[in-house]
Amino acid sequence: MTVNVEDLFRVGVKPEEYLKKTLESPRAADWRSVIERHRVDSKIVEGLSKIKKRFTLICFSAYWCKDCLRYVPPLIESVRKAENNNLRLAMVDYDAHKSLAEQADTKSIPQLIVFNDKGSEVRRIIEIPSPKYTSIEEELLTILLNKK
């Protein structure tokens, strides 16, 4: 079963709201530490800022997830600093939207689903970056640039 990208975007929250909620979760100290320590890669931010096509990025995540803790704050910060209106990022709480996650065939988190401007899925990054990448945002940039 497939799910509509706009439905996913509607139930998602803005990345800033998601991070705020992480700081109110039982693992708030861990999230705060990652958020404060992370430094974005300026080359990736620059690349993201130059994307000309429109993409919707849906990230399924949960506050208790160790991989989410590690990879989600840097992703959010990189997309935020790129200040590119062509990139729409919404965070979907995996626990609050399990049926929607199931419809989107999301079994592992974090899971970043990249949709093009027509609402078609382009690719997914599941749990961790692929072996040839050091970060999810680096892999995302490669996907958006349509490079293998």
Predicted confidence at residue 7, as pLDDT, reads 87
By the 8 A CB rule, do 18 and 76 touch? yes
What residue has token string 């995996």? 94
pLDDT digits (tens, 9 = 90+) for 47-77: 999 999 999 999 999 999 999 999 999 999 9
The dihedral formed by the CA atoms of 112, 117, 121 and 123, expressed in degrees to the nearest 10: -50
pLDDT at 1 over 80: no
Tell me the average pLDDT across 2-30: 91
Measured distance CA(135)–CA(44) in Å, rounded: 10
By the 8 A CB rule, do 121 and 113 touch? yes
- Indicate the domain borders of the chain: 5-144
- Return the CATH number of the domain spanning residue range 5-144: 3.40.30.10
Predicted confidence at residue 132, as pLDDT, reads 94
Burial of residue 71, with CB atoms counted within 10 A of its CB: 0-12 exposed, 13-18 middle, 19 or more buried: buried
Q: What is the pTM of this model?
A: 0.93
pLDDT digits (tens, 9 = 90+) for 67-120: 999 999 999 999 999 999 999 999 999 999 999 999 999 999 999 999 999 999
